[in-house]
Amino acid sequence: MDDHDLEALLLDVRSGAVAPDAAVAQLRRLPFADLGFARVDHHRGLRQGLPEAVYAPGKTPEQCAAIVGELLENGTGPVLLTRADEQQLDATLRRCPGAEVTPREPVTGRLATLSWRHAPGREHRVLVVTAGTADLAVAEECVATLRAYGYGPRVIADCGVAGVHRLLACYDELVTADAVVVIAGMEGALASVVGGLTPAPLVAVPTSVGYGAGLEGVTALLAMHASCAAGVAVVGIDNGYGAACAVARMLR
Amino acid sequence: MDDHDLEALLLDVRSGAVAPDAAVAQLRRLPFADLGFARVDHHRGLRQGLPEAVYAPGKTPEQCAAIVGELLENGTGPVLLTRADEQQLDATLRRCPGAEVTPREPVTGRLATLSWRHAPGREHRVLVVTAGTADLAVAEECVATLRAYGYGPRVIADCGVAGVHRLLACYDELVTADAVVVIAGMEGALASVVGGLTPAPLVAVPTSVGYGAGLEGVTALLAMHASCAAGVAVVGIDNGYGAACAVARMLR
Amino acid sequence: MDDHDLEALLLDVRSGAVAPDAAVAQLRRLPFADLGFARVDHHRGLRQGLPEAVYAPGKTPEQCAAIVGELLENGTGPVLLTRADEQQLDATLRRCPGAEVTPREPVTGRLATLSWRHAPGREHRVLVVTAGTADLAVAEECVATLRAYGYGPRVIADCGVAGVHRLLACYDELVTADAVVVIAGMEGALASVVGGLTPAPLVAVPTSVGYGAGLEGVTALLAMHASCAAGVAVVGIDNGYGAACAVARMLR
Amino acid sequence: MDDHDLEALLLDVRSGAVAPDAAVAQLRRLPFADLGFARVDHHRGLRQGLPEAVYAPGKTPEQCAAIVGELLENGTGPVLLTRADEQQLDATLRRCPGAEVTPREPVTGRLATLSWRHAPGREHRVLVVTAGTADLAVAEECVATLRAYGYGPRVIADCGVAGVHRLLACYDELVTADAVVVIAGMEGALASVVGGLTPAPLVAVPTSVGYGAGLEGVTALLAMHASCAAGVAVVGIDNGYGAACAVARMLR
Amino acid sequence: MDDHDLEALLLDVRSGAVAPDAAVAQLRRLPFADLGFARVDHHRGLRQGLPEAVYAPGKTPEQCAAIVGELLENGTGPVLLTRADEQQLDATLRRCPGAEVTPREPVTGRLATLSWRHAPGREHRVLVVTAGTADLAVAEECVATLRAYGYGPRVIADCGVAGVHRLLACYDELVTADAVVVIAGMEGALASVVGGLTPAPLVAVPTSVGYGAGLEGVTALLAMHASCAAGVAVVGIDNGYGAACAVARMLR
Amino acid sequence: MDDHDLEALLLDVRSGAVAPDAAVAQLRRLPFADLGFARVDHHRGLRQGLPEAVYAPGKTPEQCAAIVGELLENGTGPVLLTRADEQQLDATLRRCPGAEVTPREPVTGRLATLSWRHAPGREHRVLVVTAGTADLAVAEECVATLRAYGYGPRVIADCGVAGVHRLLACYDELVTADAVVVIAGMEGALASVVGGLTPAPLVAVPTSVGYGAGLEGVTALLAMHASCAAGVAVVGIDNGYGAACAVARMLR
Amino acid sequence: MDDHDLEALLLDVRSGAVAPDAAVAQLRRLPFADLGFARVDHHRGLRQGLPEAVYAPGKTPEQCAAIVGELLENGTGPVLLTRADEQQLDATLRRCPGAEVTPREPVTGRLATLSWRHAPGREHRVLVVTAGTADLAVAEECVATLRAYGYGPRVIADCGVAGVHRLLACYDELVTADAVVVIAGMEGALASVVGGLTPAPLVAVPTSVGYGAGLEGVTALLAMHASCAAGVAVVGIDNGYGAACAVARMLR
Amino acid sequence: MDDHDLEALLLDVRSGAVAPDAAVAQLRRLPFADLGFARVDHHRGLRQGLPEAVYAPGKTPEQCAAIVGELLENGTGPVLLTRADEQQLDATLRRCPGAEVTPREPVTGRLATLSWRHAPGREHRVLVVTAGTADLAVAEECVATLRAYGYGPRVIADCGVAGVHRLLACYDELVTADAVVVIAGMEGALASVVGGLTPAPLVAVPTSVGYGAGLEGVTALLAMHASCAAGVAVVGIDNGYGAACAVARMLR
């Protein structure tokens, strides 16, 4: 309900077409669908510029399917299901076929991202750079989300700073990108180095990849926040989805 | 040294105007000035789209003054000195007069931001929202930095979520902003609520303000990272300067 | 043994009906039953106003069954078994049938709450609000406990602050509730927002739900403690049972 | 603006007394006063059942005085200034005389609580129990806040569990209290013991008092959350004000 | 090699019975058996007053068996194998039969303590008090170790401070004990209360039992260290073996 | 009030010398003196075998003096005031002269231990071993407390394991001691090495001495708990007083 | 591409043999092979003096095999695959036979190190000392890596400081070693003691072995950093590979 | 006492020149001087290859002076006093003049390093690289220590990775160095980048320099341990002295 709707409602009240107490009730009625176990927000796309995404962990397969179904049937725009296990994936695909599934082939122990009704394609150059091969699972979630939003990101894998020339080889792409997502575990140093090379907006994603002192991503998260490169913005550990959303906000 | 310079150098080598070993030396010569205690980076503005900023803590007043002097005399674009104490401020102003100083009047225990040679004004609407009055010191650093970059940000203070209507009163501004900086200590919840209301790019700054369980900003930092609003990008604790740089990257 | 019992005992001593050394012994005899591996406290209901609840983890199925049996046979009032796995549930139901089991249908990986001999119904309006669908497991433990105490709580699920209008839609219920339980993982911001909207006593439960920076509930716990809303009282992570007890203390 | 006001406004719209766009504007106008550096919330008392309290740290003396002045002049009900240092206390008392100041005599290094316009007296029996003498500073903040709300709490100091008989001596008061606040540093065990003795609602305040492993209150906070006594509700470290607010919510 | 042996050796050197360089070699030869993967210490009993105990985790079943075998065949006094899983237990019992095994019947997920060649019985009254039933696994390790050392400890289970009368019922035993071991998870408050009641040496064992804020025993460990009762000595989390050793040192 | 007193009281009740309700009252009257801000425990010596010690931090000088005065005038046995600053020391000595003060000469920034009415001398050999010179402040508190209890401990300073021969030089004393206190900061390794050398009861005190990774004593505390030497009992960081009490319990 | 190559390239440019834009392209072409999911660094051996090692966790078996294959076919010098599970080991051995596999026989739950094309043997005496038998898994990774680099390290197992004579028995080897690696979990004290005995370069590896307060290696890591022995250099938790690399750097 | 001394002693015993019990005593007499508050280790230089360094914090000025005096008068080789405040510096210089003092001019709030009797000069090329100007205080301690050991290290300041070309400008020096010390606060990324560029032994020193998420050096310490560059060895936070000692071990 935006300003326009509100003014229309009040005009109806003045004209007597709507009684005051009915208007009160209507002002309270907000654009979500209550499924009992979830309040599906049909307004979010409008309000945040981002489609509703359903975070699968902790929901039953049936709940996943029902929420995605509600969003597809009564909403508009892209719909995402993130971090789905096999049961959640199956139940939701049965009810809501036609999703793009990432990764295409199931990988042992890796959760899936599903997306329906992609946004029209956009021209921006988005770069997703990972420090190592093992960061690719997080990159995949980020890429799947960006694709649902209409972007065609390019992934550059395995550019860790221990071989900084591998990164410098992409110097042209880095400085001309519209946005860069850096995904790195261990000490997360890649964010600082990339941040020093490019003027593009930069979103850093710490990952839980790495040896003992990585503390499941906390080290990378802290290190990225302590980065000596200015203007590095950080999202949560392993949060490829969040990074994609941050990019979508910047480039809308 | 960009592609163009490099090609020119090589043409000079081919023509014999430059000897190969001289070219090797020149390829090694990079655009910074070595002051002994600091390597002043005259290339950063070009490379990152951000002016060099001098972080005062841990430097002697003389070092602050010398670095800022070098940047003003041999560089171009805005120059910043952040978190300067009284001695650093005095020494640097003596050598490099004409700075804009924030806060205008000294406040007990609050460090200053100084800026020289502001960038030309830009039109973007940048909003800086704080949860409480005590977050204003961080907001000031952010605003001073944005001003140096040519922005004219608007500050909305004291919108903590315990009185969410104070925030809703700015709804129009939030949804039409080009970028929003949310500055909040304690539990940092303001970032989530603002993130749910606006489609604008959003940079969250956790502050060290608050009661015992705030853990000097760590609670707000973690909470902002765990935010249920998608696409919230976070910078370090009390890092108003970093938030301004992140905005500058997004809006350049 | 309350004041009345004590005075009676002493009168018996004065009258000679009880010998002093027998009284000494009796004063030592306290109202619990020693099962060897557990000291079942028949006095707790009287003393705390709360029935004894048996926390299943770490106990063998036989120990669970024996303790619940002792409480049902020799005590009065409601009896609870919380966080029971399948073996504990089966063994206890075999010995002590007639329990209300939550959830009604077993859900993979979710522990059960069992309750016997519910308290008579009470009229108070207790609201249990969750930030997301994945917080429902904790809400169920809270609701099952409240029901055992005679309350008929109403659950409002999935009101996370990223879509604050979903919460405002329940404004009437929030301001008229006798007590509100807020259950939220991630950044736990819901507690602050609800605390700012309602004058009701408010118990916040951090949950271990959420992405990487949630630190298994510690982020939400700290954030709720740093809440900018006054008078938010917090219980332990995922402790739906504890929240119900806190409510029971307030409304007794 | 409550339901009643809203309906009146709509009736005015229907009658033509108020134009629709004026009504839109008015719906946006919310009951706070914008002082530039603070948005003073005149509605909070109504909404939360608690008066606005001004948290002094991080505010200039002038800001403290201005906010308290606004609340006294344009609001109703009790007003509090918490954790004021000497400058803040002086500046605010100059502008807003007549406050009750706690502690009555200044104590080195201890911040003050000021209160104006106390609520009418209430009859409830509120008990504030401290583990040690050093917890009294937190107890004072709690008591000052409760007094502003109209309560006349009784303080029982120095009941640490290392001499549990000192606590048992107050058994009668504990079991008949309407609410109990337990204030304890070190290992915070007092909350568990009191929670096992009384059926009253119980708010536990961890304090930063204690030897090395107390970790400035974090140990007590965690211990109180891990309490084996059911229904213990916890507020933040040293947060005597918050404990008083939690009690006020329970007993309103 | 004690003073006596050393003097004997030197007398032999003086008499020429041993050549100086042979003496040098012998002084280097210390009383352990090198099995390649382990250096079995036959001197420890003499030196520490405690028998060698083999900590099973991280060792192969064959290594466990070989080390225990070496200790039984070439050493004297009690021998312990702690935290053995089923394979380690089987392999070691096959090679070294006749152990006392705790628990007597295997319990799912619980590691075993094995002991051989118990020390002669001692008269001391050692009390092992647990806060809850779930702490019994740690108590078992402590008791098995004490029994190997010749003590006949008495276990009092489930005395948590939420029902402090259950503890007071054992007051006589507490004050007359020669040593008390307190085993408690959650908030660990039992150590403080027991410490306040008895003059006996008191060893506190934090356990990893408990709800979310217990942090796998860290909360109890910190709380026990912050204990307001004087002279509480603490061992590591779940370290029933260590507590028994501390008692053995005290009572030797 | 012990069993004997209780039986006497009940005999008086039977004989009619004491009315039942008077007996109830008397049973409630416990042996402490309520000074308002403190409940002075005259029974602790009897109950714990340890004298009451007053922990100065957080108390006003007047409160320190009053509590010590109460203990000296109406109690028996040794009395201690620990961690007193200059004001607390002066105020207490004025009211209660004749204390032994440690350190004898004031040292900048070091708090004092005062003791009155020492216990009669005991014969036990107690050894206090420190890793470094900087641990001596903690050792002093431990020694002052032990002296109040009647012990004449011997201090061996600066035996850190980086020069393990300095420790081995005291081998005879270590193996014949009745109790050993090890005081060490940094990595706390001294506790393990000493624990491996002596069969004596061993109390380890982590100190906040050391470089950056010492984390103000937390590293030493954790390391001592993870000690590979069996039966090491640990007290809190810098808690020399607590170590002395633990020794007193063991040797009583 | 080293100085020599660069000068050659420029001479070719001067002679016209290479066109400037071709030279620009070539200067950008860096010595790695892009496999899509990995950028294999053929230059690392030259640059770091260390062969490329492939860290298996997070990579698919096919990725492991492909990267190792690329390194063997197109590179020179030793190649390592570390922490491989059974699938990764099988897939890689199928494609790249002839590896030395550690451990020789698979051990339940232990990951493998594979190495190909060992460096020629070196004479240095490298000592790998472990505190306990359970640290041997980390020692194996260290030894396998050292062997690939051409060293023939000697392992001395189970020298924990609780029996310091077991270490002193190796005194001669310690003082004459060219480098010492100390591998220890629990409290990590072995590093300090060894550091105090030998002048050799010393690399300490904290392991995740040990009881509750070991915090999965964090305690040992912190303790080793707080070591009182000077010049102890530490690598990450369980990082046997990193310790071997640090040694290789020192002895190259 | 080395092997040679020991054999000599035993020959004396055989010849009767020394009685056995006198030899026992002598074997116990180890080469340190007991000053009461410190055991000065005259053997350390021989044993560790490093001179004794006196760590000033926690020692009185007189203790500092006495220990340094003892080392100079009765020992040989370099002597260091580290982290001395003004009083400690004055007292020690008065007793032991002729020290080299770092920094040469006192800087507010910076502790000093003093050194006497430097070792003869060595030829090795040691590089000390700092990320920022503010890391220079730590670099100074490292350089002063290296100078005492006879090295003439070269400092390259302010090479943070946000301007990686500043580091590449020193490429030649990095690859030809005999040892490199990297000193960096914030996210510590410099260690990884330098580690990827040079084959030299590399010691990384995390510093407590930096913004909020630096956690006083813990972030840099963890990040350096999680470094993706192989063979990076880390010392404690701000521990310039320790880094110098690690280098001295490597290059001896």
pLDDT of residue H23: 66
Taking Cα atoms as reference points, which of A217, A164, A155, A158 lies closest to residue A187? A217
On the question of a cis peptide bond just before residue C103, with omega within 30 degrees of 0, the verdict is yes
CB contact under 8 A, G30 and A168: yes
Q: Quick one: pLDDT at residue D95?
A: 96
Which residues of chain C have a CB within 8 Å of the CB of A36?
A: 157
The pLDDT confidence band at residue D45, using thresholds 50, 70 and 90, is low
Min Cα–Cα distance to chain D from E191, Å? 9
Query: Which subunits have 3 or more CB–CB pairs within 8 Å of chain E?
Result: C, D, F, G, H
C50 forms bridges with which residues in the sheet?
A: none
Is the pLDDT score of G45 beyond 60?
no
- Which of F166, F187, F237 should be substituted to probe chain G, the one whose Cβ sees the most G Cβ atoms within 10 Å? F187
Closest CA of chain G from A179, distance in Å: 21
- Give the one of D203, D244, D249 whose C-beta lies nearest to C200's C-beta: D249
Kindly list the partner chains of chain F, i.e. chains with 3 or more CB atom pairs below 8 Å: C, D, E, G, H
Q: Do G and A touch (≥3 CB pairs < 8 Å)?
A: yes
d(CA A129, CA G155): 41
For residue H89, pLDDT over 90 is answered with: yes
Chain G neighbors of E47, CB-CB under 8 A: 163
Read off the pLDDT of residues D60-104 as tens digits, 9 standing for 90 and up.
999 999 999 998 988 778 999 999 999 999 999 999 999 999 998
Residues in chain G: 252
pLDDT digits (tens, 9 = 90+) for B84-143: 999 999 999 999 999 999 998 877 778 999 999 999 989 999 999 999 888 999 999 999
pLDDT of residue G1: 46
Instruction: State the pLDDT at residue G185.
Output: 86
pLDDT top residue among D24 and E86: E86
Task: Dump pLDDT digits (tens) for G147-188.
Answer: 999 999 999 988 877 777 777 778 788 888 999 999 998 877
Residue among F106, F105, F97 at smallest CA distance from F79? F97
Q: pLDDT band for H109, please (50, 70, 90 cuts).
A: confident
Higher pLDDT, B198 or B142: B142
**pLDDT higher than threshold 60 for residue H18:** yes
pLDDT at residue F50 in the model: 73
Question: Is the Cβ pair D3, A20 closer than 8 Å?
Answer: no
Amino acid at B230: A
| Residues from chain E contacting residue G163 (CB–CB below 8 Å) | 32, 39, 41, 43-44, 47
Structure tokens at H115: 């050194």
- For the segment A102-122, what is each residue's pLDDT rounded down to a tens digit? 998 877 778 999 999 999 989
High-pLDDT (> 70) share of chain D, % = 84
Q: What is the DSSP letter of A229?
A: S
- In 3-state terms chain G splits into helix, strand, coil percentages (rounded to 5) of 45, 20, 35
Residues of chain A with pLDDT under 50: 1-2, 28-30
Nearest residue, CB atoms, G213 vs list F197, F210, F225: F225
Of D107, D134, D166, which is closest to F39 when you measure between CB atoms?
D166
Rounded CA separation A131/F13 (Å):
83
Give pLDDT, residue C112.
Answer: 94
Cβ neighbours of residue C76 closer than 8 Å, sequence gap 6 or more: C45
Measured over all CA atoms, what is the biggest interatomic distance in chain D, rounded to whole angstroms?
73
Cβ neighbours of B134 in D, within 8 Å = 55, 57-59
Give dist(CA B68, CA D215) in Å, integer: 41
State both tokens at E145: 């170790």
pLDDT at C215 over 60: yes
- Across A57-61, B38-42, B101-105, E179-183, least confident range: B38-42
The two three-digit tokens of residue C189, written as one number: 């911001």
Nearest CB to E209; choose among C39, C41, C58: C58
pLDDT at C41: 65
Cβ pair H107:B60 closer than 8 A: yes
Task: Give the pLDDT mean for E217-246.
Answer: 89
Examine the pLDDT at H85 and tell me if it is beyond 80: yes
Question: What would the two tokens of residue E23 be?
Answer: 């003496």
Query: Looking at the partner chain, which of B195, B227, B249 has a beta carbon nearest the beta carbon of A202?
Result: B249
Q: How close B2 comes to chain G (CA, Å)?
A: 11
Of the candidates B149, B208, B209, the residue with the CA atom closest to the CA atom of residue B179: B149
Residues C107, A38: C-beta atoms closer than 8 Å = no
CB–CB contacts below 8 A, C to F? 33
- Provide mean pLDDT across the span C100-127: 90
When CB atoms are compared, the residue of D48, D231, D252 closest to C50 is D231
Q: Do A10 and D20 touch (CB under 8 A)?
A: yes
Residue tagged 């058994």 (tokens): D171
Say if residue E29's pLDDT is above 60: no
- State pLDDT tens for residues D181-222: 999 988 778 998 898 888 899 999 999 876 656 778 888 888
User: Which residue, among G242, G235, G22, G68, has the nearest Cα to G141 in the 3D structure?
Assistant: G242
Structure tokens at F223: 């390391």
What integer pLDDT is reported at residue A23 of this predicted model?
66
- Cβ–Cβ < 8 Å for B133, D58: yes
Q: Give the pLDDT mean for B158-178.
A: 80
Residue C188 distance to chain E (closest CA, Å): 15
pLDDT of G28 reads 47
Q: What does the pLDDT look like over G84-103, one tens digit per residue?
A: 999 999 999 999 999 999 99
Look-up: residue for tokens 């006020």? D248
- What 3-state class would DSSP assign to E89? helix
Q: Of G161, G164, G219, which has the smallest distance from its Cβ to F222's Cβ? A: G219
Q: Which structure tokens are listed for A232? A: 């590095």
Q: Do chains F and A touch (3 or more CB pairs under 8 A)?
A: no
Q: Do E131 and D228 touch (CB under 8 A)?
A: yes
3-state secondary structure (DSSP) of residue D204: strand
Q: Which of G226, G230, G239 sits opposite H50 (nearest CB)?
A: G230
State which amino acid sits at residue F198. T
Q: Do A39 and C163 touch (CB under 8 A)?
A: yes
Contacts of B196 in chain C (CB under 8 A): 161-164
**Residues C84-112, mean pLDDT to the nearest whole number:** 91
Give the pLDDT of residue G168: 74
Q: Which two tokens mark H228? A: 């993706």
Task: Specify the residue for token string 């009383």.
Answer: E31
The neighbour count for residue H90, using CB atoms within 10 Å, is 14
Q: D61-65, G191-195, G227-231, H65-69: lowest mean pLDDT where?
A: G227-231
CB E134 within 8 A of CB E209: yes
Instruction: Spell out which residues of chain D touch residue E229, defining contact as CB-CB under 8 Å.
Output: 161-162
CA-angle at B92, arms to B91 and B94, nearest 5°: 70
**Could C189 and B186 be called an inter-chain contact, meaning their C-beta atoms sit closer than 8 Å?**
no
Mean pLDDT of C48-67: 85
CA distance to partner chain E, nearest, from residue D217 (Å): 10
Chain F touches chain H, with at least 3 Cβ pairs below 8 Å, answer yes
Residues of D with Cβ-Cβ distance to C196 under 8 angstroms? 44, 47-48
Predicted confidence (pLDDT) per residue in E113-171, tens digit: 999 999 998 999 999 999 988 899 999 999 999 999 999 999 998 887 777 777 777 87
pLDDT of residue H30: 47
Mean pLDDT, range F57-73, rounded to an integer: 91
Q: pLDDT (tens digit, 9 = 90+) per residue, G59-82?
A: 899 999 999 999 898 877 899 999
Give the pLDDT band (50/70/90) at residue H94: very high
User: How many A/D residue pairs have CB atoms within 8 Å?
Assistant: 33
pLDDT of residue B44: 58
pLDDT band at G210 (very low <50, low <70, confident <90, very high): low
Instruction: Give mean pLDDT, residues H1-21.
Output: 69
- Looking at every residue in chain C, the average pLDDT score rounds to 84
pLDDT computed for residue D28 by the predictor: 47
Structure confidence at residue E229 as a pLDDT band (50, 70, 90) = confident
| Chain E: residue whose CA lies nearest to H14 | E14
Q: Kindly list the residues of chain C whose beta carbon comes within 8 Å of any beta carbon in chain B.
A: 131-132, 160-164, 185-189, 192-193, 195-197, 210-215, 218-220, 222-230
Partners of G67 on chain A (C-beta within 8 Å) are 133
